[in-house]
Amino acid sequence: MVTDVHVTVWDDRSGGGAATPALFVHNIFTWGDDPEYGFAGQRPLAADRRLLLMDRRGYGDSPDTARSDFEVDAEDVVGLLGTGAHLVGHGNGGVVALLAAARRPDLLRSLALIQPSAFTAAADRPLVADLLDRVRDLPPTAAAEVTPERFLRESTESVGLPVPPLRCGFG
């Protein structure tokens, strides 16, 4: 399967080598080689294997989309796994990685999830159940009040990070 999403490739191996590649799937605003929010900290791994940093649809240099779709993203991931790869997903990219792994477990050499946004998988935990209850109880107008800028500000400043530029193609 061929996909039209943008992929940054890092491959610093001298002599090539045949190490299994690693595919990274980003969160809401942590795509590609962004030095602060992306996977730039993983660059040293390119000395040992080829790294593929996917820009999900609507992000970075991939095609714009009116709405993010994990199912479509998972198909893109499957298309990028080639004959097999290590798969790393962060946040929403972790959900995408899980979906891709379920579709083609035969192509995965390993699966690493970093804070996957899969809250319903832990809905029986009191903290998660409370969060899900609060979100369900929000009035329908609440979502309209949360602009992309406000979301980015509140989701980064609350954990001590500076607010990244709004660069996604939807929202």
Split into its structural domains, the chain has a count of 1
Instruction: State phi, psi for 30 to the nearest 5 degrees.
Output: -115, 60
Q: Residue 88: which CATH number?
A: 3.40.50.1820
Q: What is the pLDDT of residues 53-104, one digit of tens each?
A: 999 998 888 888 888 899 999 999 999 999 999 999 998 999 999 999 999 9
Structural domain containing residue 67: 7-119
DSSP run (H or E) holding 34: none
Would you say residue 137 lies in a domain? no
Would you say residue 57 lies in a domain? yes
- Quick one: tokens of 159? 């954990």
Q: What is the pLDDT of residues 11-66, one digit of tens each?
A: 998 876 678 999 999 987 655 666 666 788 888 999 999 999 999 998 888 888 88
The span from the CA of 32 to the CA of 11, in Å, is 14
Residues 89 and 23 sit within 8 Å (Cβ to Cβ): no
Instruction: State phi, psi for 108 to the nearest 5 degrees.
Output: -95, 130
